[in-house]
Amino acid sequence: MKKILVTGGAGFIGSHLCTRLLDDGNDVISLDNYFTGSKDNIKHLIGNPHFEAVRHDIVMPYLAEVDEIYNLACPASPIHYQFDPIKTIETSVLGVTNMLKLADYGKSKILHASTSEVYGDPMMHPQREEYWGNVNPIGIRSCYDEGKRCAETLMMDYHRQHGTRIKIIRIFNTYGPNMSVNDGRVVSNFIIQALKGEDITIYGDGSQTRSFQYVDDLIDAIVRTIQTGDDFTGPVNLGNPREFTIRQLAEEIIRLTGSKSKLCFMPLPGDDPRQRKPDISLAKRVLDWEPTVQLEEGLKKTIEYFRSIDF
Ligand code: NAD
Ligand code: UDP
């Protein structure tokens, strides 16, 4: 049995990860300040003697002896990370430094959740790990994009300078049950609007693209990544390479919910990337992994989840 720390354990992805790690027979501590996460996401784990939920902000140091650290703590949706941008960048820089110090102290492995946002508005399509990105350092998304880029730098420098055992994953747009109802991300927004019969809010003309990964596929990839040898640090792209326009996504959600909602077009937010699609050759080769849940199946499960909760 391994002792594992999951920061952001009460969040969307973190709650699925805690569940999977407990199912695999580990002892799990969730560390979360509940800024965007919720106790509802982990209520099924409370009472499990192998699970502890600790309220803590990773911007402050934390001490525990653990075998593995999965650092997921960070607001992830544009509305949430722009709510307090200084705190967002502190979480990526000071928070990640604290977790790296903890990994050094316990000689534990540390996996860090980076993002496709490190590619910014990409000039290379699809995006490969070698691409350095096209990021605005002073825009409204910079607190997140540049914070995550700096976190990757810290991870690599701790690895080179101290020999810290690191893994960096770059997650592309992920969706599924436990997404927060008010985080403004496109999948949750469109499903909730469709279920309420409200207009579907497309920002811009809806021709921008994203590639949507169902959360179960991501969790499988995360577990495979931590099991790789110490010589594999990443970064590795984890996403579903099937690319859709935002308009196609809206139409698919209307079809699957049977909603009478209409499309409405609103201004595109600043620095919104035009296109995004992962090249996952590295993950296929090193992790022997590729996503198996296609958009229709994943959306059906997510719609079922949103129908089951009171929003
Ligand atoms: P989320 O907002 O649901 O989860 C983040 C969790 O971290 C929340 O529970 C929140 O309360 C917690 N948190 C935030 N700041 C904290 C702090 N300073 N100290 C302690 N806890 C803190 O988001 P998510 O979608 O589950 O994302 C998890 C991670 O994956 C994030 O690091 C995010 O950047 C990354 N990621 C997610 C996606 C995606 O599509 N969901 C894509 C790329 C990267
Ligand atoms: N988007 C949209 N309507 C919404 C929410 C988002 O058209 O109600 C668009 C957004 O402008 C972006 C895409 O959908 O082009 C994905 O947005 P999200 O916030 O989910 O993720 P990110 O931009 O970080 O990839």
**257-298 pLDDT per residue, tens:** 999 999 999 999 989 999 999 999 999 999 999 999 999 999
* Residue 151 lies in domain: 3-175+215-240+278-291
Q: Which residues are catalytic?
A: 144
> To which residue do tokens 């982990």 refer?
42
Q: Give the model confidence (pLDDT) of 201-250 as tens digits.
A: 999 999 999 999 999 999 999 999 999 999 999 999 999 999 999 999 99
Is 55 a member of any domain? yes
Is 185 a member of any domain? no
Which tokens go with 90? 């502190």
Ligand 2 proximity of 208 Cβ (cutoff 6 Å): yes
Angle between the N-to-C axes of helices 246-257 and 295-308, in degrees from 0 to 180, rounded to the nearest 10: 60
Q: What is the CATH number of the domain that holds 146?
A: 3.40.50.720
Is 199 a member of any domain? no
Which tokens go with 168? 């960096």
Is 206 a member of any domain? no
Q: Give the model confidence (pLDDT) of 143-187 as tens digits.
A: 999 999 999 999 999 999 999 999 999 999 999 999 999 999 999
Is 310 a member of any domain? no
Which tokens go with 268? 């595109």
Among residues 56, 69, 61, the alpha carbon closest in space to that of 97 is found at 61
The structure's pTM equals 0.97
Output the pLDDT for position 311. 76
Is 245 a member of any domain? no
Q: Which atom of ligand 2 is nearest to 79's Cα?
A: 19
Q: Give the model confidence (pLDDT) of 18-46 as tens digits.
A: 999 999 999 999 999 999 999 999 999 99
With the most atoms of ligand 2 within 8 angstroms of its CB, the residue from 118, 142, 185, 244 to mutate is 185
Is 273 a member of any domain? no
Percent of the chain with pLDDT over 90: 98
Count of the separate structural domains present in the chain: 1
Is 261 a member of any domain? no
Which tokens go with 22? 């407990």
